[in-house]
Amino acid sequence: MKFTLDDEELAKLTERMAGMRFIFFDAEMAIVFFRTDPDVVKRIIPEPLKPSAEPFAMAFMAKYPKTNFGSVYNEAALSILVEYEGELGGYCLTMPVTEDMALIGGREIFGFPKKMADEISLERTENGVKGRCVRKGIVLMNLSMSFDEEVEANKLAEILSTLTSQELGDKEWEVPSYNFKFF
């Protein structure tokens, strides 16, 4: 079993997937950004990643009722903001899902740390959302938040750019995911 791709293998995979677009129709997501303990970040990120200047983390829960690749599932994740060679990106600590094909595709193709969850729920309440992620009978994440207004995706990118001090200009806000497979 291989644990890394050399430059040639990565180029072939990238070329094969260049035309693929993964589309999530009618998705519902709750995303929370928060500051975390910088000492904890230093302890848990693998080399060659470095802690970002600001110790931001992100938790999210999502419902994907329809996709263009046939999977219908729910997902949760916990990521931290890191740097690699001066570029900000996310390091995902965990990404439970409720469907095996989403697990296989995300883990085997993209290297996300996906595991099967017993339950991932995300529901609107009268004044916000609540969610929960359970794996092997253990509650990994509870989410309960109220909101004054929903934020559209383009507005979210603008807000995120202020958190990271990245200038957007006319380009879309993109953040690479730094994924490491290890056992």
Residue-wise pLDDT tens digits, 165-174: 555 455 555 6
Residue-wise pLDDT tens digits, 17-43: 666 778 889 999 998 888 999 999 999
> CA quadruple 181, 177, 107, 11: dihedral positive or negative?
negative
Q: What is the pTM of this model?
A: 0.78
The one catalytic residue among 114, 155, 171, 181? 114
Percentage of the chain modeled with pLDDT above 90: 52
Tell me if residue 114 is catalytic.
yes
Please report, for the chain, the start and end positions of each structural domain, with discontinuous segments joined by +.
23-164
Residue-wise pLDDT tens digits, 56-72: 999 999 999 999 888 99
CATH superfamily placement of domain 23-164: Acetoacetate decarboxylase-like (2.40.400.10)
- Which residues, in sequence order, are CB contacts of 61 under 8 Å at separation 6+? 29, 30, 74, 75, 76, 120, 121, 122, 131, 133, 141, 143
Q: Which residue has the higher pLDDT, 104 or 110?
A: 104
Most confident of 66-70, 153-157, 158-162: 66-70
- CA–CA gap between residue 102 and residue 120 (Å, rounded): 14
